[in-house]
Structure 1
């Protein structure tokens, strides 16, 4: 399941970080970064072209302000994207799946196997081109729904099948 993923998960270094003892962190594919860079880069290109057309061809100098702000936000997104992607990970434990994301604003969600209602695989055109998918876990509580992006297609299918199998055995005891 870890073929073609990052070599290690980037974790916060502070003493206040949450330590999870059992299991092993699995990561996403580096191809996810390329998909995100292409998507954000295309949006940045559209913004630049729109600002150039508005300012040069139509003489609308006001377009430089919102275009510049949006451009800076997109450039910051492009710079932070690789580090963000390396902070994504999931862990299969005995009773639940734990998903984590983020360095500064951390989110760690544990989804009990017995509470999973739907396990869904989705992928857009760029995802299909790079051979990756995202796995979505849905529970009755909206706050515990998890989407794991950037999984290799085969890994997503194996994980889906395993989660469904484990969820069925856990649900029977309810």
Structure 2
């Protein structure tokens, strides 16, 4: 997957996209939140006034109409590329971000998957460096790819930091 022409990421790299399951998980969260909001709206309409339910129903429709395309674009913006000396992570639709993590600066690599992520078959890889403000996270990877990336980054990090 190549980044957009106006993205800050170098376009000539072998970019890897994250799993489609990231979109499906976020879509399920949005639909669940809208269903809960509709349920509360129906309860309030029954107890208080009909217009309260109408306002909440419109809010549900608006959230779904705006949210579904937004989470699709966000999922498609996540990508990463492995270079000889560092890992590049790019994401963002409106505010694009490119994180470059040198292998020698990594302290440890973490793979995490909560219950919902496990249900959808994805995991999150987090790279920890000495910097407290490091935002080196790759979301939505299949567990096998997350484990492969973790092992590769750990080996490269150990090899690069051995000379320090």
State the TM-score, normalized to the length of structure 1: 0.82
Q: Which residue of 1 aligns with 2:95?
A: 105
- 1:92 is aligned to 2:82: yes
**In 2, distance between residues paired with 1:118 and 1:67?**
46
**In 2, distance between residues paired with 1:142 and 1:69?**
38
Q: Which residue of 1 aligns with 2:138?
A: 148
- The 5-angstrom pairing of residues 1-174 of structure 1 reads 8-9=1-2, 11-14=3-6, 17-20=7-10, 23-59=13-49, 61=51, 65=55, 68-69=58-59, 72-174=62-164
Q: Deviations over 1:40-97 (max 9, x none)?
A: 1101111111112112233385576577547634541222211211111001111111
- Report if the CA contact (8 A) 1:36-1:81 is conserved: yes
Q: How many residues align?
A: 164
Quickly say closer, same or farther: Cα 1:12–1:103, change in 2 above 3 A.
farther
- Report if the CA contact (8 A) 1:120-1:135 is conserved: yes
**In 2, distance between residues paired with 1:64 and 1:111?**
49
SS at match of 2:133: helix
Unaligned runs of 5+ in 2: none
SS at match of 2:157: helix
**In 1, distance between residues paired with 2:129 and 2:104?**
9
**In 1, distance between residues paired with 2:147 and 2:60?**
37
CA-CA distance at 1:107 after TM superposition: 0.5
List, as ranges, runs of 4+ consecutive aligned residues in structure 1 with deviation greater than 4 Å: 60-71
**In 1, distance between residues paired with 2:90 and 2:9?**
12
CA-CA distance at 1:119 after TM superposition: 1.0
**In 2, distance between residues paired with 1:19 and 1:153?**
25
